[in-house]
Amino acid sequence: MSTEPAANRIPDGDLGDFRALTDIVTRLRAPGGCPWDREQTHESLKRHLLEECYEALEAIDQGQPSLLAEELGDLLVQVAFHADIAREAGHFTLAEVIAGVNDKLIRRHPHVFGNASAADAREVELNWEQLKAKERQEQGIRKSPVDGIPVDLPALSYAQLMQDRAAKAGFDWPDVAGVLDKIVEEAAELRQAATAADRRHELGDLLLVLVNLGRWLEVQAEDALRQANGRFRNRYMQMEQLAERRGLDFAQLPLEDKEALWQEAKKLVG
């Protein structure tokens, strides 16, 4: 039996048990725990929750399982912290969070836990949306399909989710050809825009249609652009390194030389 003071003792049991995490968080936020942890609120932790989500996305994009495991752990810490703050305030407990989401998963998968059927993933998504709409109606909540999307989502993610919902409500092109034609139309309108306000308006419309194209191609626009950003960054830095190794001033190189370095960098880093 440990003779170490209870206040300083590491929680008993397997560190691989979720209960150990919640015990650690509770201890950190208890009197005599960590001053920083005790000061945190739902609001102060918002940026940390967002950062951890993006770090998990980056680990997925990089294809690094060990890093992803670490980032998912950091996300679990955020869940445990928010739940403990809510418990202390008397709002809800972690058990209620888990019970609520388990009930939702069972309720919205009647093809697994009930007698319903679903032929494919698309039918599962349609059933999910129909069940959500039914639940809102039973609760007296009448929302438009495009209402209730988190306003803090990145604009591309917001646009794609909004268009997903509109499409499921029947507002969609009959096929992808209509989307491609719309891209040509919006590009022409952007070319004709005369003022800064007009260009901003038309560029927004063009981006919206491009996101819709991603939806038709079953590509998440946010993921596609994030990964393209990463490729550009890696290639650009490779160009600079190639120029430096050859004793060249990259900034002063003519455009055709930079383009040659770009093509070389693409071969080296993908």
- Other CB atoms within a 10 A radius of the CB of residue 84 amount to 21
Mean pLDDT of the 166-194 span: 94
- Judged against a pLDDT cut of 50, whether residue 55 lies above it is answered with yes
* Domain limits, the chain: 6-98, 108-143, 223-269
Mean pLDDT of the 197-208 span: 96
What region, left, alpha or beta, does residue 219 occupy, with left being phi > 0 and alpha being psi -120 to 50 degrees? beta
pLDDT at 9: 59
pLDDT at 6: 47
pLDDT at 44: 96
pLDDT at 244: 95
92's tokens? 């809800």
The residue among 98 and 148 whose pLDDT is bigger is 98
- Find how far residue 28's CA is from the centre of its chain: 28
Mean pLDDT of the 237-253 span: 95
pLDDT > 70 in the chain, percent: 95
pLDDT at 129: 78
- Judged against a pLDDT cut of 70, whether residue 4 lies above it is answered with no
pLDDT at 24: 93
pLDDT bracket for residue 1 (50, 70, 90): very low
pLDDT by residue (tens digit) across 252-266? 999 999 999 999 999
pLDDT > 90 in the chain, percent: 73
**Dist. CA 239–CA 242, nearest whole Å:** 5
**Dist. CA 112–CA 188, nearest whole Å:** 48
pLDDT bracket for residue 10 (50, 70, 90): low
pLDDT bracket for residue 176 (50, 70, 90): very high
In angstroms, the first-to-last Cα distance of the chain is 57
pLDDT bracket for residue 268 (50, 70, 90): very high
- Judged against a pLDDT cut of 50, whether residue 2 lies above it is answered with no
Mean pLDDT of the 159-184 span: 93
pLDDT bracket for residue 133 (50, 70, 90): confident
> What is the rounded average pLDDT for all residues in the chain?
90
pTM of the model: 0.69
Least confident range of 12-21, 36-45, 133-142, 166-175: 133-142
- Judged against a pLDDT cut of 80, whether residue 7 lies above it is answered with no
pLDDT at 79: 96
Q: Secondary structure of the chain in the HEC alphabet?
A: CCCCCHHHCCCCCCCCCHHHHHHHHHHHHCCCCCHHHHHCCCCCCHHHHHHHHHHHHHHHHHCCHHHHHHHHHHHHHHHHHHHHHHHHHCCCCHHHHHHHHHHHHHHCCHHHHCCCCCCCHHHHHHHHHHHHHHHHHHCCCCCCCCCCCCCCCCHHHHHHHHHHHHHHCCCCCCCHHHHHHHHHHHHHHHHHCCCHHHHHHHHHHHHHHHHHHHHHCCCCHHHHHHHHHHHHHHHHHHHHHHHHHCCCCHHHCCHHHHHHHHHHHHHHHC
**Dist. CA 203–CA 215, nearest whole Å:** 18
Mean pLDDT of the 61-86 span: 95
Mean pLDDT of the 32-45 span: 95
Q: Which of the four CATH numbers 2.30.29.30, 3.40.50.11540, 1.20.1260.10, 1.10.287.1080 does domain 6-98 have? A: 1.10.287.1080
